[in-house]
Amino acid sequence: MKEWKIEGKEEHPVETPEGEAGKAAVRAMKILLYKQRSEQELRQKLQEEGFEADAIDLAVGYCASFGYVNDRKYAENYLLSYRNRKSARVIRSELGQRGVASAVIDEAFEEHPYEETEIADELVRKKAGVPHRLDDRELRRTYAYLARKGFSSSVIWGAIHRYQEEAAGED
Residue 14 has a pLDDT of 53
CATH number for the region 2-65 comes to 1.10.10
Q: What's the mean pLDDT in 131-160?
A: 92
What is the DSSP code string of the chain?
A: -EEE--TTS--EEEPPPSHHHHHHHHHHHHHHHH----HHHHHHHHHHTT--HHHHHHHHHHHHHTTSS-HHHHHHHHHHHHTTTS-HHHHHHHHHHTT--HHHHHHHHHHS---HHHHHHHHHHHHH-SS----HHHHHHHHHHHHHTT--HHHHHHHHHHHHHHHHHH-
Provide the pLDDT confidence category of residue 113 given band limits of 50, 70 and 90.
confident
Q: Please write the tens of the pLDDT for every residue from 61-105.
A: 898 888 899 999 999 999 999 998 899 999 999 999 999 999 999
Domain definitions of the chain by residue range: 2-65, 71-111, 116-170
pTM > 0.85: yes or no: no
Residue 168 has a pLDDT of 80
1-5, 42-46, 152-156: least confident range: 1-5
Domain 116-170: top CATH class? mainly alpha
